[in-house]
Structure 1
Amino acid sequence: MTVSTQPSPRALLGCIADDSTGATDLANTLVRNGMRTVQTIGVPAGGSVLPGVEQADALVVALKSRTIPAADAVAQSLDALRWLQAQGCRQFFFKYCSTFDSTDAGNIGPVAEALLAALGSDFTIACPAFPENGRTIFRGHLFVGDALLSESGMENHPLTPMHDANLVRVLQRQSEGKVGLLRYDTVARGSGATAQAIAALRGDGVRLAIADAVSDADLHTLGEACAALPLVTGGSGLALGLPANFRRAGLLPERADADNVAPVAGPALVLAGSASRATNGQVAQWLARKRPALRLDPLALAERAPLVEQALELIAAHAEPVLVYATTTPEEVKAAQAALGVERAGHLVEQALAAIAAAAKARGTRRFVVAGGETSGAVVQALGVQALRIGAQIAPGVPATVTLEAQPLALALKSGNFGGPDFFDEALRRLGGEA
């Protein structure tokens, strides 16, 4: 990393996230650690500089590349890298899910290797650990709470089922270069020992190394040890240790107002496309309280049932927020996929939720709570969102955000697995009004 003795007038850290909720999760971590952060929705058209970007310490480009073909994910990620380099960023972060969502074909390994090559570097770490949300890595194995990844419910994921908790094996199947392990007993000895182990792994020809971490202290250690790496990769937790590197270099002042965003008043809507356990619990809580809601069934959507129109009628009929959801059990998800195909089933739901969001915005809705990474990506595109200023945390991994527009929208974009049972109501309150 290039070191200067003066605070930088341009962004320091440039981040590439493979979905929208992952992007806000990472941005949330950076803001909580004193970096003013702006998230763009995709790469700005024509390489343009968006309003507000010049005031950011960190930039996060949110792609929708987690489940697309690996070659397309690589191309999009390299495009994002070029834009971030043009904004003056000094270090780069490739962010993916804390449950390492991927397949044997990618996309984590191919994108990481392409970014390394573009930056002229030969090594980086891969650490999706997020202890605050129960994701820890020990001896290369990823745990979700007390369960191995392969026994956590992620084995039933409709797009990226995770059947192997050994991340060294998972990443090696996706990668051309050698994959190694940065063991916990080394990380526990501090950043100096960790940096030495990194040098040894590089000497052994390792290109990507899974890094063990079971606590936030481990993530701070890893962040400090990686200060000189052009690229780091992992979950949002790995970003805990990066802002301090810039402060030690004299590039980043102490900030107490990094999460300041203005509240947004106006009607609100909740949209849920995730089938995760956490989102199922949040939907169940909403329904148990007899709140207005409508379920979107992909089989009915395939038969052209007027569910979008029914949702808009329900929204118009209620002054309070409405929940529109496709969330259901893994068994029902598999049944819909068997009938329609995995891609079509998901596309039908995303398309419907996006259409509802766009129509609701046109009718005056200003606050949106969205559950699910793929769903969030579709919704922000439908809303025409170009960039978000990141505000205070609502729940671990989920901040309040406000669009950079003359008439701003407030959004909470939630990974399916995040948040407690009351998340929807808490998010609505934190976005600027009553639930």
Structure 2
Amino acid sequence: MGTAATTGSDKYGPKTKYLMLVFVCLFTFLVGGFGATLFNLLQVTVANDLGWTAGERAFVATGYSTGMIWFAFFSGLVVDKVNVKRMWGSLLVALAFFVILRAFVVGVTLYYIIMFVSGMVVSIINPLSTKVITLWFGHKQLAVANGFLTSSNPLGQFTANIFALPLIGLLGGQWQTLYIVLAVFIVVLGVAIFVFGKNRKSIDAALESDQIKSADELGIWKNLKAVVKVPQAWCYLVASGVFLGLVYGGGSQLYVVLQVDPNWALDAAAPGIVTAMNNIGSMIMYVVAPLIIGKFLAKNYDRNYRLIAIICGCLSAVLMFAGVRSYNFTAICVIFFINGIVFGQIVPAPKVLMLRLPQIAGARAGTAMGIYLTLNRIFQTIITAIFGMVLAINTTNPTEPLSWMYMLYLVAPVLIIVAWVLDNRQKKAAAAAAPE
């Protein structure tokens, strides 16, 4: 395995992996960050311009997320077997076509179909993005490369929130034109991947494993069975699902609570500022945190990476609890910025630790990410619904149940600890069984 990986690195040269990282980050920035946020920003404007009712607008808004639920799992299985470059470039060109259609379609049903298919295509590409990272970056660089990938999303969100409306003004006040421009950028990216991108086989992945020695051990069903049999993987999958479910579920309700709770009674713009503070902190630390660990805590890196993630997970629960109970706008902004810094380690940690498992590594990263993304979507849907029901019951002081639900962030560090214990037990058992 090590020989294959080294050969692949020599064949493509040391700069290729950075080019592939740029491609992955640009996709995440354009589509996952800027594009998704642009749609949210323009929902009311589009509905008014096209003559939709509030119910029709809400119906169309569900299309993108619904499309994303169903295909990530199957995409993950396929990604480990196909030519990544060709699949990636082709899907981006297809996605650009559906983005352009948003500028011309008027009917509600057809617009919903366009958004559904867009979500479907993005869900197919998402496991592929992480697969690219594992193909080109090994154990020592994985966390940093993933940090750049992860931070590209909030950077795209931030850019859309700040610049989308001024850009529309520069484009003659037509939101349709901005969608066309976005589609052009996506097409250019897809073509650039076709022309300049490089393919790499799963068995040659830079994120190598001493437990996967030949291509004969890889296959759709072999990969799936290998991943689901690892208890540590399930710890990380559930840890991420619960944590991100709380992030998105709590985030959607936080906008409401900060306005309707009489102890807060903020205006409509204020909750966006609060969450922006969290996004700014996390966007920076997704990259900086693994760099700091790699630079100053490189000795016993694996232990230090887990330990800091556990501490950050616990701190995040306390910070969110304190922030929403502060009943002070300045205080919650400061606390959420600090929480964003803490997010920089705990949010990506379950994913990175899962990918570093020797049973998964780069060879089975697509399969693992297909399961990971599917479970994340399921947890987000369930937890968002639970948040909504709980807060609907308590309308006089919704901050109280919201703050206690944020304490469920503690599930993630607990499960990371459980996985750590299982790892140590397996290592001791393997050492005891090894011939002297």
Regarding TM over 0.5, the answer is no
Higher percent of residues as strand: 1
Larger-gyration structure (1/2): 2
TM-score, structure 1 normalization: 0.26
Higher percent of residues as helix: 2
Larger RCO (alpha carbons 8 Å, 6+ apart) = 2
